[in-house]
Structure 1
Amino acid sequence: MTNLITDRLQVALEDLKANQQYRQLPNLQHKGQYVMSEGKALLNIASNDYLGLGGDIELRTEFLNQIEQLPTAQIPKMSATSSRLLTGNDIQLQALESELQSWYQNATDKQNISASKSVLVLNSGYHANLGILPALTALPVKTLILADKLVHASIIDGLRLSQSKLVTYRRYRHNDYEHLARFIEQADETVERIIIVTESIFSMDGDRADLPQLVQLRAKDARIELYVDEAHAVGILGDTGLGLAEETNTLPDIDYLVGTFGKAFASVGAYIMCDEAVKQWLINHMRPLIFSTALPPINHAWTRFILAKMPMLTDQRMHLAQLSITLSQAIDPQHRVSPTAQHISYDSPIIPYILGDNARALTKANQLQAAGFYALPIRPPTVPENTARIRLVMNAKLTNEDCERLIQQL
């Protein structure tokens, strides 16, 4: 790299610092519900570990004891060493897919819904959203993708990679289904396929998509398919933790249901629930799957261990909802995403505390950290300009007293 380039990089980095947008990797040590930062124990309210399973020492001990009791030849490997299409398709991974499929089937059976889906496990939520849409649109079919304005960066990258002479995408205003309906009405007659893309719980605002309304839209036009990213809903919503689609009885009406293990599951990886033909198409055309080394079998063994417990974690989900409602209702309207909204129901454990400019968000984060809370500022471009915030995140291991102490600081 030439001195000219490094000099320009340095100037650009200084601009980030001047605008309070400079980011650095934190030096942290995790201890249960706390993180050690600069020698101080801070209660973690910035993690996506919604059920608090990631710091649960008893769970880890139970899992390791199970592993130790296995015959040596059956202990899961520490590395997959190649892609799934080569030698990475381990028995743990195949068992996980089968158990996820049963999870889905049990949920639909309880709702007296006749539905079936195949499951494909992927390396991460980012891999999933980056690769699924480009693979789905590889067919020579004129396609229009309509995505919520606030979908995750991984979906945006997947949209960009999908663009071609036959594939275009547009972004409808956040949760504005009249705007979405107009886009559908305006679609050219030559468009053969329309894919609506949304998150179920939005990662920065913490609000919900209206899945029943989206399902109604889908039913009005045979060209429409529905793609829902449940990353922030899996584990915390639904009778068995399968997400907002389970809670709203819309499971069979979603064509592509994506979930992740890196949040409430306290693990790593992702999955898609879809038709068997779609699964086989993705295996043959999804580049992040084809060209990535599979996750280590030991990780899939841990995910299976958590999955077996997930349907029984009802009390944790209820406590999480109660904490989240208490905190949400305590926030002054001037610091809410929607100042006039009535926060009387449960959306999610993600409660944004809006401050507007970057400097105020940094100052508030420092204040909270001084008070013993590991809270972080979220700034553009992660969120829109002038909406810098503290992303407060509840988890099921927090106590009512923890929540009250936090409210006092706000």
Structure 2
Amino acid sequence: MNNKFLQEELNSLKETNNFRVLKECNSSLINFSSNDYLGLANDKELLNEFYSNYHCKLSSSSSRLIDGSYPEVMELERELEKIYNRAGIVFNSGFDANSSIIETFYNKDTLIISDRLNHASIYDGIVNSGAKLLRYKHLDMENLENLLIKYRDKYEDILVVTETVYSMDGDVADIKKLVELKRKYNFDLMVDEAHSYGVNGYGIAYENNLVQDIDFLVIPLGKGGGSVGSYLLCSQLCKDYIINKNRKFIFTTALPPVNNCWNLFILKKMPEFLEKRERLQELIRYFLSLLKENSIETSSTTHIVSIIIGDNRKIIKIAENLKNKGFLVYGVKEPTVPKGSARFRIGLNPNFSKEDLERFVKELKYEIDSVL
């Protein structure tokens, strides 16, 4: 290990305002950076109801293939299959689920066509698979179709990968159009619902009755699910193959029962969160109107609101000033986003008041105009 090289790399990050450090979260601040889109993880009444009905162990102590397939996780998978009418399997994280699918089922003879802005877990899986990669322009179905026309006769095995709601821009893929293209060009389709589960109930694919048309439907739970882990909905054949062939699944200690009891609890109660979802939609409309009134631009249309500031130094300074005024908001800096597009990524949830939003936008506008 070359310590000199490591230090030089870190010094370079500091010079470009890209050096990352871990900071303890201050719970007294109004948090605009959380992914708890429905406020489930911090809902005291919900937590009290859960703990009064469930008494679960804090460790599974084993992988799923030894004794980690405890009754609660098996019940969770049965409930998934009943709701989605597909075989369901639980992964420890969305990252594991995405990368596992691609590296398990696809190889150097596969063409994978990925939305340019798909998550790092998807690209990790593609690298590990050795598949040929093409990227289509973000959300551009015409560009995707042109690639399918050009390459469909050159590959027998083609996978198209998309997310539903995108984390950095808060925009939404046209899943109906993707399914139309799948029927026309006969490719495999993988969809990640990390930022739509909960906000859209059981997800956008479920809402639009498209679950059966999607080969791999991934539902990570660390956002709107208020938890940890991930569901995968697929065919029974693919589920069996994962259990027998996927290294991350086979050699990983299963999530603790307490996590999957909570996941089961939330899954069963999802229809009861309609009021939270409606409140969130109301706040989205109000927040976007406040931004427009204050001439703060965004292309977002969802609960994820992206506000581009520009360079790393400015976004760090604005975040510090907002923290001193009682607001927690983290900047997303280069190179996570393209050069010149450092931004604030706002995550809304139904627990905000309109007064909170008004004060935040007022202070944000002041900082944007004042910090040079």
Q: Normalised by the size of structure 2, how large is the TM-score?
A: 0.93
The answer for the alignment partner of 2:304 in structure 1 is: 350
Mapped to 1, the partners of 2:30 and 2:262 lie a distance apart of: 25
Does residue 1:325 correspond to 2:285, yes or no?
yes
CA contact (8 A) 1:283 1:290 kept: yes
Mapped to 2, the partners of 1:254 and 1:130 lie a distance apart of: 17
Mapped to 2, the partners of 1:254 and 1:348 lie a distance apart of: 23
Does residue 1:142 correspond to 2:122, yes or no?
no
Gaps of at least 5 residues in structure 1 are 29-34, 68-74, 105-115
The equivalent position to 1:58 in structure 2, one of 45, 68, 81, is 45
Give the letter for the 2:81 counterpart. Answer: Q
The answer for the alignment partner of 1:82 in structure 2 is: 62
CA contact (8 A) 2:217 2:233 kept: yes
Give, in angstroms, the shift of residue 335 of structure 1.
5.2
Give, in angstroms, the shift of residue 221 of structure 1.
1.4
- Deviations, residues 312-337 of structure 1 (Å, cap 9, x unaligned): 10110011112122222333597545
1:383 counterpart SS class: coil
Mapped to 2, the partners of 1:386 and 1:281 lie a distance apart of: 44
Mapped to 2, the partners of 1:300 and 1:188 lie a distance apart of: 41
CA contact (8 A) 1:351 1:392 kept: yes
Give the letter for the 2:94 counterpart. Answer: G
Question: What pairs with 1:320-399 in structure 2 (closer than 5 Å)?
Answer: 320-332=280-292, 336=297, 338=299, 347-399=301-353
1:331 counterpart SS class: helix
Mapped to 2, the partners of 1:358 and 1:314 lie a distance apart of: 38
- Deviations, residues 94-120 of structure 1 (Å, cap 9, x unaligned): 00111122222xxxxxxxxxxx31101
Give the letter for the 1:137 counterpart. Answer: Y
Does residue 1:126 correspond to 2:88, yes or no?
no
Mapped to 2, the partners of 1:271 and 1:287 lie a distance apart of: 17
The equivalent position to 1:174 in structure 2, one of 131, 138, 141, is 138
Question: What pairs with 1:92-171 in structure 2 (closer than 5 Å)?
Answer: 92-104=72-84, 116-137=85-106, 142-163=109-130, 167-171=131-135
Deviates more, 1:82-91 or 1:58-67: 58-67
Give, in angstroms, the shift of residue 393 of structure 1.
0.8
Identity within the alignment, %: 40
The equivalent position to 2:190 in structure 1, one of 227, 245, 249, is 227
1:313 counterpart SS class: helix
1:407 counterpart SS class: helix
CA contact (8 A) 1:146 1:195 kept: yes
2:190 counterpart SS class: strand
Cα RMSD between the aligned structures? 1.7
Larger helix fraction of residues: 2
1:54 counterpart SS class: helix
Give, in angstroms, the shift of residue 294 of structure 1.
0.5
The answer for the alignment partner of 1:70 in structure 2 is: none
Give, in angstroms, the shift of residue 299 of structure 1.
1.1
2:41 counterpart SS class: coil
CA contact (8 A) 1:331 1:353 kept: no
- Deviations, residues 376-401 of structure 1 (Å, cap 9, x unaligned): 01012221221100111101111122
Give, in angstroms, the shift of residue 161 of structure 1.
0.8
The answer for the alignment partner of 1:307 in structure 2 is: 267
Moved over 4 A (4+): 332-335
The answer for the alignment partner of 1:26 in structure 2 is: 23
